[in-house]
Chain A
Amino acid sequence: MCAERTLPKFDTASAKITKEEGLILYEDMVLGRLFEDKCAEMYYRGKMFGFVHLYNGQEAVSSGIVKALRPKGDYVCSTYRDHVHALSAGVPAKEVMAELFGKETGCSKGRGGSMHMFSAEHGLLGGYAFVAEGIPVATGAAFQSKYRREAMGDPSSDSVAVCFFGDGASNNGQFFECLNMAALWKLPIIYVVENNKWAIGMAHDRATSQPEIYKKASVFNMAGYEVDGMDVLAVNTLAKEAVARARAGEGPTLIEALTYRFRGHSLADPDELRDPGEKEFWGKRDPIKKFAAYMTEKGLATATELKEIDQKITDLVEDAVKFAESSPEPNPSDLHRYIFAED
C-alpha cells in the first residue's frame, strides 16, 4: 500500500462559482457516476464486452477540467478509461452507451468499443487503448491550434487541448518527450495526470522514483501543480487558470490530480491487491457527496434541487440503455467501410 500524500490546501473562498456553474459541475459528476454504475450492470448482464474500465471516484477530475473548456472548439483526449471524459465533453450518453453495446448508433459506430470512444463533433480526440499513446496525439492537436494562428495567420485559432492519462502513463517515454516539446513550443495544452495510485496491480510508488508527478514539469520549464482530485471546485479553479494561460499563448500546464478509482482496474479485475483500509479511506472522500454538501451549505442549491438532478440523470441513463438496446447492429456488408478516407 502506498503512503497517502498530504493533500494540497484549497481555499474554497478563492473559488467564485455561480449557482449555474455549480449545477453544471454537479450534474456532470452525477452523470459520470450513474452512467458507470449502469455500465457495470450491463456488463454483468452480458450487454457489453471486452475490457471495460470504469471511472467511479474520479468524476471531479473530468468534470472540473472539461467544464473549464469551451463547450465547442476545444479538444479532449483520453485513455481506455474514457466513457466519462466523453460525457463531460458533451457526447450524448446514448451514443456512448450504444458504442458500448457495439451498435451502429454508437459514437464510433460500434467499431471502437469501450476503449475507443471518438467524436469529432465534440472535440473528443479519442479513447486510446495503449497506455500513453494519446499524449502525443493531444500534443499534436495543440500544435495545430498554434500553427493555424501563427503559420496560417488565423488570429481566431485559440483552441486548447486537454490530455488525460494515469500515473502509470507518466512513467512512459512519450510523456517526457511531449512535455519537452509542449514547453519548448509553448503549446496550448493541459496534461492532466489522474493519479489514482495504481496502474492495474502496480502501486505508483513501486513504479516511479519521484512519486510527485507534478514536480516533473519543472525540469521542462513548465508549470506544474498538484490538486485534490476529489474536490471539483479545486480542480475547476486550477483548470480555469491553466486554460486561460494556454489560450493566451503562455504555454502548457501539467496538473496532477490526486484521486482514486472506487472499482477494480477493469470489470475483469478481481481487485485483490488494494488494501481495504485504503479503499475505505478514499471512499469517504467521495467527490459528489463533498460537492453536494458544499452547494447546499453555501446556498447554491437546495437538497431538493440536487435530488431533481439525480432523478433527471437516472432517467437519462435509462433512456440511453433503451436507445442502445433498440439500435441496430452494424450491417455486415459494411465490414470494410471506414478504412480509407473516401468512405
Chain B
Amino acid sequence: MAETLMFNALREATDEEMARDKTVFVLGEDVGHYGGSYKVTKDLYKKYGDLRLLDTPIAENSFCGMAVGAALTGLRPVIEGMNMGFLLLAFNQIANNAGMLRYTSGGNFKIPMVIRGPGGVGRQLGAEHSQRLEAYFHAVPGLKIVACSTAYNSKGLLKAAIRDDNPVLFFEHVLLYNLKDDLPDDEYVLPLDKAEMVRKGKDVTILTYSRMRHHCTQAVKEIEKQGYDPEIIDLISLKPFDMETISESIRKTHKVIIVEECMKTGGIAAELVALINEQLFDELDAPVLRLSSQDIPTPYNGKLESLTIVQPAQIAEAVQKMMEDRI
C-alpha cells in the first residue's frame, strides 16, 4: 500500500497502460515537457518520448479530430483537456466523430479513445474555466461519460477507460487532485459502468458524483449525529447510469435526493429524475429532489460563487426536510 495523491494515481494509471500497450499515447496542450496542467503526465515524456506524449498546438478541434483518426486506424489516444472546458472548441469532433462515427459507419470502425482532464467549479476561476461539460455532452450518442472522485477510483477507472473500445469522456475535478488514498500495490482495474456505494443507509438515497460526493459525506457526518441514516451513492458512470444499483437503493429507501455540480436545466439530474420516474415511480414516497448549481454563468466573486453551487448545509437541510415529510 502506498499513500498516493489523485494526480499521481492518474499518472500511474497512464504510465501502466502506456507500458502495457504501445498503441496508447497521450496528446494535448503541455502534456509533455510541462507535465500537464495538473502534473498528471509529469516526466512521462522522458520515459516514452515526444511522440507518445505529444505536445500539441492550441488547436482543440483539430487535435481531437486527429485522435479520432488515430483511433480509427488502431491506436489508443488519451487526450488531456488542459481544462475540460476548452473542449467546447472540440465539440464537433467529439460529438460527430468520436460519438457517432461507429454508428454512421455501420460498425466498420471502433473509436477507442479517452478524453480526460479537470472539470468543475474551482476557486474563483471565472465562468469560462468553471464549466461542467458532462451535462453538455450528455446528449451525444455513443459516448461513455465517467466522473472519478477519489485517488483510488481515479486510477482503476482511468485504466478501464483506456482499455475500453469506445470513446470515454473522463471527468476529473480541479479541486480533487490532492485527495489521498492508500493504493494497492497490485494492479487493479475498476468497472466503468458501476456506481460506488459510499455509505450504506436506509432513510433516503443520495445520488451524486465528482466533488459533490465529498459535500454529501460532509453533510451526512453532521446529520447522522441526529439519527438520520442516508445512503450515498457515487454515480461514477454518468452515461449510462448504473440503474441496477440505483434502483436497488430506491426500492429500499423510497426517497431520492440528487446532488450535482452542473446546472439544473439540462443537467445530469434532469435525465436521472426522468429515468427514475419512468422506471421506479411506484417506489417513490416523495418527488425526487434536485440540488444543482444555479442556472447562471459562474461568477468570479467568491461569495457569489459559493452561492452558485450546492453547499453541505443545503444537503443536510434537504435530508431533514425529506425525512420530516416536509417535501
Interface residues of A (CB under 8 A from B): 49-51, 99, 102-103, 108, 110-116, 128-133, 168-169, 171-173, 199-202, 206-208, 273, 329-330, 332, 335-336, 339
Contacts and interface: CB of A to CB of B under 8 A. Distances in A.
* Chain A interface SS verdict (over half): loop
Contacts, number: 116
A110 B300 contact: yes
A335 B307 contact: yes
Interface of B: 29-30, 33-35, 37, 55, 57-59, 61-62, 85-86, 88-89, 122-129, 294, 296-297, 299-304, 307-308
Contacts of A133: 89
A172 B57 contact: yes
A173 B29 contact: no
A261 to B, nearest CB: 16
18 contacts: A110-B300, A111-B127, A111-B300, A111-B301, A112-B126, A114-B126, A115-B128, A116-B126, A129-B127, A130-B85, A133-B89, A200-B34, A201-B30, A273-B33, A330-B303, A335-B296, A335-B304, A336-B296
Given A50-B129, A130-B86, 19 more contacts: A49-B302, A99-B300, A103-B301, A111-B127, A111-B301, A113-B125, A113-B126, A114-B300, A129-B126, A130-B128, A172-B57, A173-B62, A200-B29, A201-B33, A201-B34, A201-B35, A330-B301, A335-B308, A336-B296
B296 A50 contact: no
Contacts of B59: 171-173
A168 B57 contact: yes
* Chain B interface SS verdict (over half): loop
A202 B29 contact: yes
Contacts of A201: 30, 33-35
A208 B57 contact: yes
A164 to B, nearest CB: 16
Contacts of B302: 49, 102
A110 to B, nearest CB: 4
A156 to B, nearest CB: 35
Contact of B30 (A173, A200, A332): A200
B49 to A, nearest CB: 14
